[in-house]
């Protein structure tokens, strides 16, 4: 269902009828109901009293709010990573950060690079060892699929590597500052795109 919305198959504002979706997807209606509740938490779906569920409208405010939530979650995640992450795990993330840069330098597709960047941040949250934090992060991951911050890939890589180095060395406050600055820089880049109207928030 998430993919149906993000691909534009279900347009913003369109009604989501549980029985129709259940038939289309070949699942029980209760499964659709639970999925709608999950998507409502991420903003992809909105429920109106006595009218049912609808595909949510994506706007600039909601998109920018997701960066604030990300900041809070990832600051906590890196604190926990300083306590739990192993050198081997951090080395794997460093390799991913370098792969993102090499992919961009080779002229890779922006969408694929953005996907790798999301993978980096999601794996960072997983390394926190906090299952609740991982679960909460799923609620706004979908919003990340419509964002293209458009920052310099080399700068992004350097920020990723500096963050991992701080975590490995147990410099908790430095790690928190670095991830906070990293996310705020991405938010600022998106804000500038919205103000210049070079980016209009939409699901597809």
Residue 172's CATH number: 1.20.120.530
Instruction: State whether residue 48 is helix, strand or coil.
Output: strand
Q: Looking at the structure, do residues 78 and 140 belong to the same domain, yes or no? A: yes
Is the pLDDT at 202 greater than 60? The verdict is no
Q: Looking at the structure, do residues 68 and 12 belong to the same domain, yes or no? A: no
In a domain? residue 201: no
Q: What is the pTM of this model?
A: 0.79
Q: Looking at the structure, do residues 168 and 103 belong to the same domain, yes or no? A: yes
Q: Looking at the structure, do residues 51 and 80 belong to the same domain, yes or no? A: no
CA 115-25-114 angle, to 5 degrees, is 5
CA–CA dist 185, 196 (Å, integer): 17
In a domain? residue 141: yes
Range of the domain at 39: 2-55
Domain boundary among 55, 70, 93: 55
Q: Looking at the structure, do residues 99 and 16 belong to the same domain, yes or no? A: no
Q: Looking at the structure, do residues 31 and 91 belong to the same domain, yes or no? A: no
pLDDT, residue 171, reads 97
Q: Looking at the structure, do residues 35 and 101 belong to the same domain, yes or no? A: no
pLDDT, residue 59, reads 76
Q: In degrees rounded to 5, what are phi and psi of residue 39?
A: -70, -25
CA–CA dist 182, 74 (Å, integer): 10
Q: Looking at the structure, do residues 20 and 109 belong to the same domain, yes or no? A: no
Report how many domains make up the chain: 2
Q: State both tokens at 167.
A: 């975590």
Residue 40's CATH number: 1.10.10.10
Q: Looking at the structure, do residues 11 and 64 belong to the same domain, yes or no? A: no
Contacts 24+ apart (CB under 8 A), 194-198: 194/60, 194/64
The mean of the pLDDT values for the chain is 87
Closest CA to 5 of 30, 52, 38: 38
Q: Are 202 and 4 in contact (CB under 8 A)?
A: no
In a domain? residue 136: yes
Is the pLDDT at 201 greater than 80? The verdict is no
CA–CA dist 204, 188 (Å, integer): 21
In a domain? residue 79: yes
The residue that leads in pLDDT, 202 or 39, is 39
Q: Looking at the structure, do residues 22 and 109 belong to the same domain, yes or no? A: no
Instruction: State whether residue 58 is helix, strand or coil.
Output: coil
In a domain? residue 105: yes
Query: What is the per-residue pLDDT across 55-108, written as a single tens digit (0 to 9) for each?
Result: 887 778 888 888 999 999 999 999 999 999 999 999 999 999 998 888 877 877
**Percent of the chain, pLDDT > 90?**
47
Kindly state the DSSP code that residue 190 receives in the 8-state scheme: H
Q: Looking at the structure, do residues 74 and 108 belong to the same domain, yes or no? A: yes
Q: Looking at the structure, do residues 46 and 76 belong to the same domain, yes or no? A: no
């Amino acid at each position: 269902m998430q993919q149906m919305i993000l691909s534009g198959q279900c347009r913003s504002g369109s009604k989501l009828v549980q029985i129709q979706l259940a038939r289309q997807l070949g699942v029980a209606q209760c499964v659709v109901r639970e999925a709608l509740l999950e998507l409502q938490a991420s903003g992809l779906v909105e429920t109106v009293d006595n009218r049912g569920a609808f595909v949510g409208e994506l706007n600039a405010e909601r998109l920018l709010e997701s960066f604030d939530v990300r900041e809070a979650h990832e600051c906590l995640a890196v604190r926990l990573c300083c306590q739990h992450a192993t050198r081997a795990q951090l080395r794997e993330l460093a390799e991913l950060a370098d792969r993102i840069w090499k992919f961009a330098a080779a002229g890779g597709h922006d969408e694929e690079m953005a996907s790798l960047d999301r993978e980096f941040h999601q794996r960072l949250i997983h390394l926190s060892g906090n299952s609740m934090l991982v679960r909460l992060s799923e609620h706004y991951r979908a919003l990340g699929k419509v964002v293209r911050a458009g920052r310099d890939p080399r700068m992004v890589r350097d920020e990723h590597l500096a963050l991992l180095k701080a975590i490995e060395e147990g410099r908790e406050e430095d790690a928190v500052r670095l991830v906070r600055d990293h996310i705020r820089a991405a938010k600022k880049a998106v804000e500038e795109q919205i103000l210049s109207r070079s980016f209009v928030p939409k699901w597809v």
